Amino acid sequence: MLGITILGNNSAIPAFGRHPTAQIVTVADELFLVDCGEGTQMRMSTFRVRQSRITHILISHLHGDHFYGLTGLINTMNLLNREQELHIHGPAPVESVINMHLALANTQLRFTIHYHTNPAEGGIIHQGAQVQISCFPVTHRIPCWGYRFDARTGRRKLLVEKAKSLGIPAEFYKKLVQGHDYENPATGACIRNEWVTEPGPVPPSYAFCADTLFNPAIAGYLQGVHTIYHESTFLESEADKAAIRFHSTARQAALLAKIAGVKCLLLGHFSSRYETLEPFLEEATPIFPNTLLAWEGTTFLVRPTAVSKPA
C-alpha cells in the first residue's frame, strides 16, 4: 500500500484555511515526511499522524514554506523521548541550519539525526525493504529537488497446480514467491522459478514534483510513475507571474502529467491570492482528465490498476 496524506497544500502564505507544504507518504508500515512548512506538527496532530513512525524527512528546498517547521518538529520529537534515529534528506545547508537552532537553545537530542545531501544531478537516495526513493532536480530560483517513491513487492504469483505437477513440496512455496529456484534433493534437477510463477502485481509509485518552472524535461524522471503531485501556484491567466517566480500554472502541470504518461495528477501549492480552488481543476482537466485537488486532510491511495482517489 502507498498513500499520500496532504498536511499542507498552500504556497508561501497560509490563507483560507490552507497551510504551507507538507505531506506524509506511507509505504506499508513506514512513514516519510515530504517537506515541513510552518505548522506541520500541528497539522499532524489534527490528522492523527504518529510522528514516532516517521523514519525519513525529505526537504525539497530551503524556501521557508517548505522547511520552517522542521526545527519545531525535531524539538517535539525530542520532548516526547524519541530514541529511534531519524534520516533527513535535502540541500546541504539543512544540517547547519538545524544544528544552529539546536545549539542556540542548548538542546541535547536523545536520538541521532543522519543528514544526507541530495546529489545535484539526482539519483537513488534510499534503498529500503519496502520502497526505493530517488530525487531529481527541478527548475526553481534556488536548488530544488523532487522525490520519487517506488514501492517494492518482491513477490511473484505462484502457479500452484504447475508447482504440484513438478513435485515441488508445499513448504517450498514461500521461497518460490520470493523468486528462488527449486532443486530436487533426490535427482539434483533444477526447476526454474519462472516455470512455476508469474510476475507479481505492479508495485505502486508516486512522485512529488516540488516547486518548479514548467519544464518538460522533468517528465524523463517520471517514466512509469502512477501518481504525481505537481505544483500549480497560479492559474494560466497569471502565467507571466508564474514564469517570473519559477512556478507553474494548473494548465502547465496538466501538460507535464500528459507528457510523462502518468495515470493521476494531484494539484497543490496554491497561491494565497485564490480563495477557491475549483478553477484549478477546471483549467487542468481538459488537458489531463484524471486530475484531483490535493485537499488538506485527504489521503490518496495509489492503486496501479485503478484511479488514485481519497481513502
DSSP-derived pairing of the beta strands 205-208 and 227-231: parallel
Contact criterion met (CB below 8 Å) for 134 and 146: no
Angstrom CA distances, 168 to 64, 152, 159, 177, 196, stand at: 59, 26, 11, 13, 10
Closest CA to 201 of 155, 138, 239: 155
Which one of 35, 65, 150, 211 is the catalytic residue?
Answer: 65
Domains along the sequence of the chain with CATH: 2-153+201-310 (3.60.15.10), 157-194 (no CATH)
Tell me what the mean pLDDT of segment 227-236 comes to: 98
**Per-residue model confidence as pLDDT tens digits over 246-279:** 999 999 999 999 999 999 999 999 999 999 999 9
Name the 3-class secondary structure at 123: strand
Question: What is the per-residue pLDDT for 196?
Answer: 93
Contact criterion met (CB below 8 Å) for 71 and 48: no
Kindly tell me if the per-residue pLDDT of 230 is higher than 60: yes
E strands in the chain: 2-8, 22-27, 30-36, 54-58, 86-90, 113-117, 123-127, 131-137, 145-151, 157-158, 182-183, 190-191, 197-198, 205-208, 227-231, 264-268, 291-293, 299-301, 309-310
Kindly tell me if the per-residue pLDDT of 310 is higher than 90: no
**Per-residue model confidence as pLDDT tens digits over 157-171:** 899 999 999 999 999
Known catalytic membership, residue 29: no
**Per-residue model confidence as pLDDT tens digits over 70-103:** 999 999 999 999 999 999 999 999 999 999 999 9
Question: What is the per-residue pLDDT for 1?
Answer: 82
**Per-residue model confidence as pLDDT tens digits over 185-225:** 988 899 999 999 988 788 999 999 999 999 999 999 999 99
How many angstroms separate the CA atoms of 168 and 164, rounded? 6
pTM beyond 0.75, yes or no: yes
Question: What is the per-residue pLDDT for 200?
Answer: 79
Question: What is the per-residue pLDDT for 308?
Answer: 57
Question: What is the per-residue pLDDT for 205?
Answer: 97
Tell me what the mean pLDDT of segment 127-155 comes to: 94
Tell me what the mean pLDDT of segment 122-147 comes to: 97
